[in-house]
């Protein structure tokens, strides 16, 4: 099996990750050593030479073909005084390791740590070893329940791809070891400040199971294209089943991107209104949250840097519930998503 797949050897070729706020974080750390415990070709260490008070770089790797000191950094990372960890660790979700049939080679790490992705174990180990950590990790982290979230200083979602050989959507996380409330943790998209982690959490959609809504069912009269297509004209949207340009016989119990949805027979006569309301709520939600609560999807839209997104069914259910409430004349459950201004003061 190739080292690329098993060891996650996708190197950070471009310095797109070093946004001004990330650079300021490194400078403010006042650390003199840049330390990459998953060093690969050493590209990240090379990028930050000469920044702030960095005088020295130190790398470790498990691959003896590389020139670093050997260390299994998924076991433990030796601490170094006055060092800031700057890394892009290997990523591999347990389910994709199974699909790629390399699960047995990594089973030990999943078993021992209980994490569902190797990057989470790597990140956990960096935080045991250093106070200051900068790591490029999958963007799915933003919607994860990682236990040290409250030691974050900032998260930067990168829409441009810093790799040459993979399109995995990523973010740059900066930890400073201080425990904080989420309203002190800043979220950026590229180099633009968006909001705090607290703002984002307050807008997370949670279904109330207030109406019978069944996904992935052939009887469904509402269709959901749950992922942005590469063409900007076809974003995620709800529509009538007969408007979907997809063979609906292909919708299965496991479908996650395109589906048919059945709703309580009481609401069937209002399907068109519910679809219209759902699309309006979704549009407002995307504007207000700047897409950061929607799952990232591999690849960008054709018009350039905007990342494609996927709407998970839990959030889709919450949107349909709000739309049903609206159609029933009850606006309480969705006031901030149907009003004319978001929490950033942006018109929606
Ligand atoms: C995604 S690459 C990143 C390399 C470098 N940080 C960069 O950004 O270009 C991950 C690196 O971690 C190394 N690696 C994988 N498992 C490791 C382990 N258990 N201990 C130390 N290094 C490991 C791989 O050999 C690879 O060089």
- Say if strands 192-196 and 222-225 run parallel, antiparallel, or are unpaired: unpaired
* Alpha carbon separation from 122 to 113, 129, 172, 176 (Å, rounded): 10, 11, 14, 17
Output the CA 79–ligand 1 centroid distance in Å.
17
Residue 298 DSSP SS3 = strand
Nearest residue CA, atom 27 of ligand 1?
40
pLDDT at 302: 63
Query: What are 166-180's pLDDT values in tens digits?
Result: 778 999 999 999 999
Atom of ligand 1 nearest to the CA of 91: 1
Atom of ligand 1 nearest to the CA of 43: 9
Query: What are 31-47's pLDDT values in tens digits?
Result: 999 999 999 999 999 99
pLDDT at 334: 54
Q: What average pLDDT score do residues 228-236 get?
A: 88
Q: Is the CB of 40 under 6 A from ligand 1?
A: yes
Q: What average pLDDT score do residues 103-113 get?
A: 78
pLDDT at 208: 93
Outline where 59-113 has alpha helix (H): 94-99, 103-113
Q: What average pLDDT score do residues 42-56 get?
A: 95
* Site to substitute for ligand 1 among 7, 57, 136, most atoms within 8 A of C-beta: 7
pLDDT at 301: 63
Atom of ligand 1 nearest to the CA of 40: 27
**pLDDT of 244 over the 80 cut:** yes
**pLDDT of 346 over the 70 cut:** no
**pLDDT of 345 over the 70 cut:** no
Residue 178: CB atoms within 10 A of its CB come to 11
Query: What are 266-277's pLDDT values in tens digits?
Result: 999 999 999 999
pLDDT at 112: 79
Using 50, 70 and 90 to split pLDDT, how confident is the model at 109? confident
Q: Is the CB of 88 under 6 A from ligand 1?
A: yes
* Whether the model pTM is above 0.85: yes
Q: Is the CB of 162 under 6 A from ligand 1?
A: no
Q: What average pLDDT score do residues 275-300 get?
A: 92
Output the CA 3–ligand 1 centroid distance in Å.
10
- Say if strands 192-196 and 170-175 run parallel, antiparallel, or are unpaired: unpaired
Residue 308: CB atoms within 10 A of its CB come to 22
Q: What average pLDDT score do residues 122-135 get?
A: 97
Output the CA 290–ligand 1 centroid distance in Å.
32
Would you identify the CATH topology of the domain 3-201? Rossmann fold (3.40.50)
CA-wise closest residue to 325 among 235, 207, 198: 207
Q: Is the CB of 184 under 6 A from ligand 1?
A: no
CB-CB contact of 178 with 220 (8 Å) = no
**pLDDT of 332 over the 50 cut:** yes
pLDDT at 337: 58
Residue 124 DSSP SS3 = helix
Q: What average pLDDT score do residues 322-337 get?
A: 76
Using 50, 70 and 90 to split pLDDT, how confident is the model at 343? very low
**pLDDT of 342 over the 60 cut:** no
Output the CA 253–ligand 1 centroid distance in Å.
37
Spatial separation of the C-alpha atoms in residues 258 and 250, rounded to whole Å? 9
Q: What average pLDDT score do residues 248-259 get?
A: 84
> pLDDT over 90 for what percent of the chain?
66
Atom of ligand 1 nearest to the CA of 36: 6
Summary mean pLDDT of the chain: 88
> pLDDT over 70 for what percent of the chain?
91
* Site to substitute for ligand 1 among 5, 8, 166, most atoms within 8 A of C-beta: 8
The highest-confidence range among 30-34, 245-249, 330-334, by mean pLDDT, is: 30-34
Q: Is the CB of 62 under 6 A from ligand 1?
A: yes
181 vs 92, which has greater pLDDT? 181
Spatial separation of the C-alpha atoms in residues 61 and 68, rounded to whole Å? 6
**pLDDT of 263 over the 60 cut:** yes
Q: Is the CB of 59 under 6 A from ligand 1?
A: no
Element (H, E) at 129: helix 118-129
Residue 59 DSSP SS3 = strand
Spatial separation of the C-alpha atoms in residues 200 and 291, rounded to whole Å? 10
Query: What are 91-100's pLDDT values in tens digits?
Result: 988 877 777 7
Map out the domains of the chain as residue ranges.
3-201, 213-338
Coarse DSSP helix, strand, coil percentages of the chain, rounded to the nearest 5 percent = 35, 20, 45
pLDDT at 339: 45
pLDDT at 287: 93
Q: Is the CB of 36 under 6 A from ligand 1?
A: yes
Nearest residue CA, atom 9 of ligand 1?
11
Residue written as tokens 């001004």?
20
pLDDT at 126: 98
Query: What are 137-164's pLDDT values in tens digits?
Result: 999 999 888 989 999 999 999 988 887 7
Q: Is the CB of 197 under 6 A from ligand 1?
A: no
Output the CA 335–ligand 1 centroid distance in Å.
46
Angle at 144 between CA 141 and CA 147, to 5 degrees: 100
């Amino acid at each position: 099996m190739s080292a690329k797949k098993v060891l996650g050897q996708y190197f950070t070729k471009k310095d797109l990750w070093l946004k001004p706020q990330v650079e300021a974080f490194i400078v403010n750390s006042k650390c003199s050593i840049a330390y990459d415990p998953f060093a690969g070709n050493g590209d990240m260490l090379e990028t930050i030479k000469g920044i702030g008070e960095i005088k020295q770089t130190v790398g470790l790797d498990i691959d003896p073909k590389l020139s670093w000191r050997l260390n299994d950094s998924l076991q433990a990372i030796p601490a170094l005084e006055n060092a800031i960890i700057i890394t892009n660790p290997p990523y591999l979700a347990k389910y994709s390791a199974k699909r790629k049939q390399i699960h047995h080679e990594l089973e030990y790490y999943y078993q021992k740590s209980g994490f569902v992705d190797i990057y989470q174990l790597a990140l956990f180990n960096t935080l045991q070893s250093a106070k200051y950590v900068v790591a490029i990790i999958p963007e799915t982290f933003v919607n994860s329940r990682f236990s040290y979230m409250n030691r974050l200083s900032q998260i930067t979602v990168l829409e441009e791809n810093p790799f040459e050989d993979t399109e995995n959507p990523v973010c740059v996380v900066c930890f400073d070891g201080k425990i904080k409330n989420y309203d002190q943790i800043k979220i950026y998209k590229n180099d633009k400040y968006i909001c705090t982690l607290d703002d984002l959490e307050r807008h997370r959609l949670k279904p109330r199971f207030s109406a019978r809504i069944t996904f992935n069912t052939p009887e469904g009269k509402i269709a959901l294209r749950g992922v942005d297509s590469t063409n900007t004209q076809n974003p995620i949207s709800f529509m009538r089943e007969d408007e979907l340009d997809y063979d609906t016989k292909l919708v299965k119990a496991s479908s996650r991107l395109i589906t048919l949805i059945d709703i309580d027979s009481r609401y069937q006569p209002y399907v068109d209104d519910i679809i219209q309301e759902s699309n309006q709520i979704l549009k407002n939600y995307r504007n207000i949250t700047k897409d950061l609560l929607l799952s990232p999807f591999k690849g960008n839209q054709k018009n350039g840097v905007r990342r494609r997104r996927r709407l998970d069914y839990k959030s889709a259910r919450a949107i349909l519930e709000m739309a049903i409430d609206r159609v029933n004349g009850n606006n309480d459950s969705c006031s901030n998503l149907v009003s004319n201004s978001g929490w950033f003061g942006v018109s929606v």
